[in-house]
């Protein structure tokens, strides 16, 4: 650990001496804790970080819009439009890769859940399903199931390691939650949790914000902090040791996420891709999803916060949105590509500016909750490695089956606990109906097209398969299927 004097010198060079303004008022315990925190900062890079943040926030955002083009059709596969034989072939390829232990999944779970308004990790959220399952539990059970499907087909005993990127906010509660739930029956050594870095929030004048007299306002470095975290935590070595060649990266909040989706993985592998993204057709022009496109001929995502409304609203001859490929934060990477990024491109990753309300202490040491934005948080985005890909592909999937994110607190019109819950229940109603059963509501009327209390455990079915025995049955809701038929 550095001495106080050494830290002081670094702070002076970085023009950040105000960080120690309350030092004389601190007791020994506080001093030790603060010094330890300061030593963990990238002190050598602090000046550049602070000045860069202030510069970036002051300059008008560079618009990419005029250089955008849609991704050419030959790089797009579609769960909706591709031929049946191709879908079967890709699905089989994916299951084969899983059975050979070549597939891993990586969950981005370092976020603070600010919009959702919870103090705990988003994955622990219970959207109010009849089973009361949380997002983490649903995901763990899907993982069990997809391993089982691969094993049944290939007579193997496969493992899909589950890498979970957390942050200072989410690591300990996530660890505790998995432990308390006995890792949902998964082997703990195959669940690898690690932390992304945190970086200081900065004022518009380029000064690190003090959140307390001996506490800096820190924020995770965005989901694109993944690449640095892979290096910091030797994750790529772990993948190599296990023989994992393909990684499916996804974010925590999508209740319909198909982890290690064999179709997506099989499609990417068959196309020889090093990098791929799943998309859904945008629901409306201003939907808060990134647009997967090309910028000056290179694959990229233009985030919803950075696209001009006029571009988002552009329509083609037949009235369809020109930029309709909505990013659902489901990415495919080969290990070789990630290694290349780790070795050559981390420092080239773009920094995005987020202007936020950051609680701080004033000159007198009083804690203040700002009413208007006062701070800059710099973030990297996970998809900003797409431009470094040599073969990038896109896979379009059906929204109703694959995308219902939990972003907002209850009561919001969109992307809320109830929309997520209903999306899952509706999907399960469709599965039961497709299997040839009739669902009846409490009054004996057939249920169609409304979310009824019909929940099928992921341990029973992953895609809607395995429900053949329901054919011809009449089933009264509530219907909870949690054991194999």
Ligand X SMILES: CC(=O)N[C@H]1[C@@H](OP(=O)(O)O)O[C@H](CO)[C@@H](O)[C@@H]1O
Stretch in the footprint of ligand X (CB under 6 A) among 50-58, 157-165, 286-294, 454-462: 286-294
251 binds ligand X (CB under 6 A): yes
Footprint on residues 45-104 left by ligand X (CB under 6 A):
none
289 binds ligand X (CB under 6 A): yes
- Given a contact cutoff of 8 angstroms between Cβ atoms, the answer to whether 313 and 291 are in contact is no
**Backbone φ, ψ for residue 132 (5° rounding):** 75, 10
Q: Which of 11, 138, 321, 382 binds ligand X (CB under 6 A)?
A: 382
Spatial distance between the Cα atoms of 257 and 264, rounded to a whole number of angstroms:
12
327 binds ligand X (CB under 6 A): yes
Q: Which residue is nearest to ligand X (CB)?
A: 290
- Given a contact cutoff of 8 angstroms between Cβ atoms, the answer to whether 251 and 239 are in contact is no
425 binds ligand X (CB under 6 A): no
Stretch in the footprint of ligand X (CB under 6 A) among 15-23, 42-50, 139-147, 381-389: 381-389
If the CB atoms of residues 382 and 470 are measured against ligand X, the closer one turns out to be: 382
We find the least distance from the C-beta atom of residue 116 to ligand X, in angstroms, to be 10
Please state, as a whole number, how many other Cβ atoms lie within 10 Å of the Cβ of residue 81. Answer: 9
303 binds ligand X (CB under 6 A): yes
Spatial distance between the Cα atoms of 414 and 409, rounded to a whole number of angstroms:
9
If the CB atoms of residues 195 and 253 are measured against ligand X, the closer one turns out to be: 253
Classify 405 as helix, strand or coil.
strand
227 binds ligand X (CB under 6 A): no
Report how far apart, in Å, the C-alpha atoms of 212 and of each of 3, 30, 362 are.
Answer: 21, 11, 9
We find the least distance from the C-beta atom of residue 384 to ligand X, in angstroms, to be 8
We find the least distance from the C-beta atom of residue 350 to ligand X, in angstroms, to be 11
We find the least distance from the C-beta atom of residue 3 to ligand X, in angstroms, to be 39
Residues that contact ligand X, how many (by CB under 6 A): 14
87 burial via Cβ count (<10 Å: 0-12, 13-18, 19+): middle
In this structure, the strands spanning 162-166 and 191-195 are parallel
Please state, as a whole number, how many other Cβ atoms lie within 10 Å of the Cβ of residue 27. Answer: 8
We find the least distance from the C-beta atom of residue 82 to ligand X, in angstroms, to be 22
Q: Which of 77, 200, 375, 405 binds ligand X (CB under 6 A)?
A: 405
- Given a contact cutoff of 8 angstroms between Cβ atoms, the answer to whether 175 and 145 are in contact is no
DSSP class of residue 204? Answer: T
175 burial via Cβ count (<10 Å: 0-12, 13-18, 19+): middle
Sort residue 82 into left (φ over 0), alpha (ψ -120 to 50) or beta: beta
329 binds ligand X (CB under 6 A): yes
Stretch in the footprint of ligand X (CB under 6 A) among 20-28, 86-94, 267-275, 285-293: 285-293
281 binds ligand X (CB under 6 A): no
If the CB atoms of residues 218 and 301 are measured against ligand X, the closer one turns out to be: 301
Stretch in the footprint of ligand X (CB under 6 A) among 179-187, 321-329, 424-432, 442-450: 321-329
Stretch in the footprint of ligand X (CB under 6 A) among 7-15, 182-190, 282-290, 342-350: 282-290
The H or E element containing residue 269 is: helix 262-270
Spatial distance between the Cα atoms of 229 and 223, rounded to a whole number of angstroms:
10
Spatial distance between the Cα atoms of 142 and 242, rounded to a whole number of angstroms:
21
Stretch in the footprint of ligand X (CB under 6 A) among 7-15, 284-292, 432-440, 453-461: 284-292
We find the least distance from the C-beta atom of residue 383 to ligand X, in angstroms, to be 6
Paired strand residues for 352: 379
Collect all residues with Cβ–Cβ distance below 8 Å to 478 and sequence separation of at least 6.
130, 453, 454
We find the least distance from the C-beta atom of residue 211 to ligand X, in angstroms, to be 23
290 binds ligand X (CB under 6 A): yes
We find the least distance from the C-beta atom of residue 292 to ligand X, in angstroms, to be 9
Torsion 398-77-302-309 (CA) sign: negative
381 binds ligand X (CB under 6 A): yes
Alpha helices (runs of H) in 45-134, residue ranges in sequence order: 46-58, 84-99
If the CB atoms of residues 158 and 300 are measured against ligand X, the closer one turns out to be: 300
If the CB atoms of residues 142 and 282 are measured against ligand X, the closer one turns out to be: 282
If the CB atoms of residues 326 and 458 are measured against ligand X, the closer one turns out to be: 326
DSSP class of residue 407? Answer: -
328 binds ligand X (CB under 6 A): yes
- Given a contact cutoff of 8 angstroms between Cβ atoms, the answer to whether 175 and 193 are in contact is yes
Stretch in the footprint of ligand X (CB under 6 A) among 54-62, 79-87, 99-107, 326-334: 326-334
223 binds ligand X (CB under 6 A): yes
We find the least distance from the C-beta atom of residue 274 to ligand X, in angstroms, to be 19
We find the least distance from the C-beta atom of residue 45 to ligand X, in angstroms, to be 22
Alpha helices (runs of H) in 100-170, residue ranges in sequence order: 135-154
Instruction: List contacts with ligand X (CB under 6 A).
Output: 223, 251, 288-290, 301, 303, 327-329, 381-383, 405
């Amino acid at each position: 650990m550095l001495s106080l004097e050494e830290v002081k010198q670094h702070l002076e060079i970085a023009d950040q001496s105000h960080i120690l303004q309350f030092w004389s008022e601190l007791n020994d315990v506080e001093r030790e804790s603060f010094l330890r925190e300061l030593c963990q900062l990238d002190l050598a890079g602090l000046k550049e970080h602070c000045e860069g943040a202030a510069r970036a926030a002051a300059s008008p955002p560079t618009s990419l819009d005029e250089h955008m083009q849609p991704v050419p059709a030959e790089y797009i596969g579609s769960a909706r439009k591709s031929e049946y034989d191709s879908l079967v072939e890709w699905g089989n390829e994916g299951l084969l890769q899983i059975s050979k232990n070549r597939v891993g999944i990586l969950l981005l779970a370092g976020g603070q859940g600010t919009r959702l308004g919870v103090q705990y990790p988003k994955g622990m959220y219970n959207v109010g399903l009849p089973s009361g399952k949380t997002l983490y539990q649903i995901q763990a059970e899907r993982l069990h199931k997809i391993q089982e499907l691969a094993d049944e087909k290939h007579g193997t005993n496969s493992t899909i390691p589950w890498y979970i990127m957390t942050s200072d906010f989410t690591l300990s509660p996530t660890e505790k939650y998995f432990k308390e739930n006995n890792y949902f029956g998964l082997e703990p050594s195959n669940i690898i949790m690690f932390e992304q870095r945190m970086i200081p929030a900065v004022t518009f004048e380029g000064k690190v914000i003090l959140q307390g007299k001996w506490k800096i306002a820190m924020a995770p470095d965005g989901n694109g902090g993944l690449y640095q975290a892979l290096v910091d935590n030797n994750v790529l070595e772990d993948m190599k040791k296990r023989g994992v060649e393909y990684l499916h990266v996804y974010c925590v909040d999508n209740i319909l996420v198909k982890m290690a989706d064999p179709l997506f993985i099989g499609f990417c592998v068959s196309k020889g891709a090093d990098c791929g993204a799943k998309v859904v057709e945008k629901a409306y022009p201003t939907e808060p999803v990134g647009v997967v496109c090309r910028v000056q001929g290179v694959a990229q995502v233009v985030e919803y916060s950075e696209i001009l409304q006029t571009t988002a609203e552009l329509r083609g001859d037949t009235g369809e949105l020109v930029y309709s490929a909505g990013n659902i934060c489901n990415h495919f990477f080969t290990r070789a590509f990630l290694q290349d990024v780790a070795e050559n491109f981390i420092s080239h990753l773009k920094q995005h500016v987020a202007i936020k309300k950051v609680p701080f202490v004033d000159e007198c040491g009083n804690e203040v909750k700002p009413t208007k934005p006062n701070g800059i948080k710099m973030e990297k985005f996970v998809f900003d490695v797409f431009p470094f890909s040599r073969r990038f592909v896109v896979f379009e999937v059906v929204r109703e089956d694959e995308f219902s994110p939990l972003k907002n607190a209850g009561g919001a019109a969109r992307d809320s606990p109830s929309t997520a819950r209903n999306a899952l229940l509706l999907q399960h109603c469709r599965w039961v109906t497709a299997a040839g059963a009739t669902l009846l509501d409490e009054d004996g009327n057939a249920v169609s097209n409304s979310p009824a209390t019909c929940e099928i455990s992921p341990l029973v079915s992953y895609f809607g398969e395995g429900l053949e025995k329901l054919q011809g049955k009449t089933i009264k809701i509530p219907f909870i299927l949690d054991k194999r038929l």
